[in-house]
Amino acid sequence: MTNNEPKLTKKQIAIIETATELFAEKGYAGTSTNEIAHKASVSEGTIFKHFKSKKGLLMAIVSPMTMKLFAPMIKKDLDKVLDQEFEYFQDLVRAMIDNRKAFIQNNLPMLRILIQEIPFHPELKEQFIEYIGKDIFEKIGQIIKYYQDKGQLVEMDQKTIIRTIASSILSYIVARYVLLPEADWDSEEIETERIVQILENGLVPKN
C-alpha cells in the first residue's frame, strides 16, 4: 500500500536481520557494530554506508518502513481474526490471544528491542505509538463497539477496555516469552482459558 518501494539490497537485509537479533539479545548499547558486521558477513563500512550511524541502524530496524514490511502480515492476520464476527466475545478474545501469541513469537526480537530501548531513545516511543495507534487501534475500536451493541461488553470507554484486554494478553505473553521464558508455565490452553475467563467475568455485564 505504500508507494515508494524500499528496495533493500541483500546486504542491507542481512544487516538489519543480524542487528535485530543482536540488539534483542544483548541490547543496543551492548552490541558492537563490529559484531553485527561479522555475523552479517559484511564489512563494517557497509553498515555505515547504508545506515549512517549505529543509531540510524536502530531507527531503520524500528522505522515505519521496516515495520511496513511486517505491517501487511500484522494487519492481514489481525483482520483474519477481527473480521470473523465471532458469535461470542470470548471467542474473539481466545482467537486474539492465539493470534498475538503467534505474532509475538515470530517477532520477538524486534519487540524486545522496542521494550528495552524505548526508555533510552525518545524517538522510538513516537514511532511505536504512531505505528501501533494508526494501524491497529481504530479497527479494534470498531470491534469493541460491535460487541458493546450486542450487549456482550460493558459500556466503559473504549480506551479502558482496550487497555484491559491488551494488558491482560500482553502482560501474560511478555512475562511468558520475554521476561521469564524459562519459568515453568502451565500448558498454553489452560493459561489462555484463564485469561478468557477472567476477562469474561470482569467485562461482561451481569443481569
Partner DNA sequence: AATGAATGAGGCTTCATTCAT
Partner DNA sequence: TATGAATGAAGCCTCATTCAT
Q: What is the Cα 68 distance to its own chain's centre?
A: 12
Q: Are residues 165 and 199 in contact, defined by beta-carbon separation less than 8 angstroms?
A: yes
| Interface with DNA, residue 48, by CB under 7 A | yes
Q: Which of 116, 136, 141, 177 binds its own copies (CB under 8 A)?
A: 116
Q: Which of 19, 86, 161, 192 binds its own copies (CB under 8 A)?
A: 161
| Interface with its own copies, residue 153, by CB under 8 A | yes
- Cα separation, 164 vs 168, whole angstroms: 6
| Interface with its own copies, residue 170, by CB under 8 A | yes
- Choose the stretch contacting DNA; rule: CB under 7 A; options: 5-13, 72-80, 97-105, 152-160: 5-13
Scan residues 51-70 and list those touching DNA (CB under 7 A). Answer: 52-55
Rg of the chain (C-alpha set): 19
- Cα separation, 127 vs 60, whole angstroms: 11
H helices of 9-107, in order, are: 10-26, 33-39, 44-51, 54-62, 64-82, 89-106
Q: Which of 26, 52, 55, 134 binds its own copies (CB under 8 A)?
A: 26
Pick what 170 binds: its own copies, DNA, none; C-beta below 5 to 8 Å, kind-dependent.
its own copies
How far apart, in Å, do the first and last CA atoms of the chain sit? 45
Least distance (Å) from DNA to the CB of residue 120? 13
C-alpha dihedral, 23 to 24 to 28 to 34, nearest 10°: -20
* Interacting residues toward DNA by CB under 7 A: 9-12, 31-35, 41-50, 52-55
* Interacting residues toward its own copies by CB under 8 A: 26-27, 29-30, 89-90, 112, 116, 118-120, 125, 151-156, 160-161, 163-165, 167-168, 170-172, 175, 178-180, 194, 197-207
